[in-house]
Amino acid sequence: MTYVSVTHAGQQPAQDELLNLFSAKYYNEHDTFKKHDLIATEWPSIEANLKHYTAQNYYAVPFGGSTNLNAPQAIQITIGAQPYDFGSKSFPIGSFADAVFPNSQNVRLIVSEDTSRFTQIKVEEEALARQIEQLRTSGMLSLRGLLYLRVDNVQNGNQVHATLQHVHIDVYDKPSYLNGGGKLVTSFDL
């Protein structure tokens, strides 16, 4: 999210500030000559990332303990399902509207959504719904996946406002932090 914030906020900071922000080696080096030498090795990848993030407004952000949760664009959220709703044949999952997700560099992702289509997982097949409900009630249900976002603007240099476009949810039979992370049961696209 920090790259998104920097590239979409308007005027970019100076090279030294960008190096301090995106390179731990550069940031932690106190010898000015060594720090100057690090520019040659650290700046090219930072510059490439800046160009990459400047060129796009759409991002796929992992959530829920997915295997790439340590990726720099990942957000630390967990989505839980509520009891099965027989009327709508779905599992309510709450709303992403007006949700705020900060990262370690004080950049905040503020998510809005256009509709309520992201608030439930539709499961019409009864056997699958029963399996998911059993996992939910036993505490073993794990929902992981990707949020597909469109960045609308950046305010105050660190508030990334984005609109939720699509959600991909993988249903696992065990939380990711347990040995093996569980087996994929099914997937949904909202």
- Choose the final residue of a domain: 17, 34, 56: 56
- 93-150 pLDDT tens trace: 876 666 787 777 888 888 886 656 788 999 999 999 999 999 999 999 988 888 899 9
Average the pLDDT over each of 1-10, 91-100, 139-148, 177-186 and give the range with the smallest value: 91-100
| Residues 100 and 127 grouped into a single domain | yes
| Residues 52 and 143 grouped into a single domain | no
Count up the domains in the chain and report the number. Answer: 2
Q: Range of 16's domain? A: 1-56
| Residues 91 and 1 grouped into a single domain | no
pTM (two decimals): 0.78
- 143-158 pLDDT tens trace: 888 889 999 999 988 8
| Residues 6 and 96 grouped into a single domain | no
- Convert 127-161 to b/e letters by CB count within 10 Å (16 or more is b): eebebbbebbeeeebbbbbbbbbebeebeeebbbb
| Residues 26 and 87 grouped into a single domain | no
Q: Which residues have C-beta within 8 Å of that of residue 127, sequence separation ≥ 6? A: none
Chain centroid to Cα 6, Å, comes to: 17
- 67-92 pLDDT tens trace: 544 455 556 666 778 999 999 999 99
